[in-house]
Amino acid sequence: MNNPIFNVNGKIGDRKTLLQLLEIRCRQDGYGDYSKTILGYSISEKYGIVLYWAKPGSDVDGFVPFPYKMAAESVMPIINSFLDDKDITNDTDGCDERYDDGDVSNSQGWRIYCNEWGHVGCWEAFVAIKKVWLWSGK
């Protein structure tokens, strides 16, 4: 499959659901032998923490390779540290901004997603996770 759609948000403390979603994303078709492993990550102001199923080219800044292929559960401590330490940055795609003009409250959350063709910035990156604002109304 060349056009997976994946875009889910959740409460900042709900890391069990985040792990389950990452496992689902790792199992989506289209990634051959790499379908259940993660080779490394990078941190991006635009995308958040970006996970790679293949080693990216030299045009990707800050790629950190893992010493071996890792399953979703093994990568969660790094994702948790990122979410715990990272402030919410300015929204880059109109989905995650703070909303103060209505009868809603804002709380911190996360979003796990991919973009067109199942990529995040480059073809080697298959999923990103970032800290976002969640809206709760009456």
Determine the pLDDT at residue 106: 80
**pLDDT the model gives residue 90:** 56
DSSP state of 120: B
Task: Show the low-confidence residues of the chain (pLDDT under 70).
Answer: 1-3, 29-36, 88-102, 138
Tokens, residue 29: 């078709």
pLDDT of residue 19: 93
Helix (H, G, I), strand (E, B) or coil at 84: helix
Give me the pLDDT at residue 33, please.
52
| pLDDT score recorded for residue 111 | 92
pLDDT score for 96 = 60
Specify the amino acid at residue 39: L
**How many other CB atoms are there within 10 angstroms of residue 72's CB atom?**
22
Give the side-chain half-sphere CA count within 13 A for 133. 18
Give the three-class secondary structure for 10.
Answer: strand
In this predicted structure, what is the pLDDT of residue 16? 94
Query: Phi and psi dihedrals of 126, rounded to 5?
Result: -115, -10
Return the pLDDT at 114.
84
Model-level pTM? 0.84
Q: Do 42 and 130 form a contact (C-beta atoms < 8 A)?
A: no
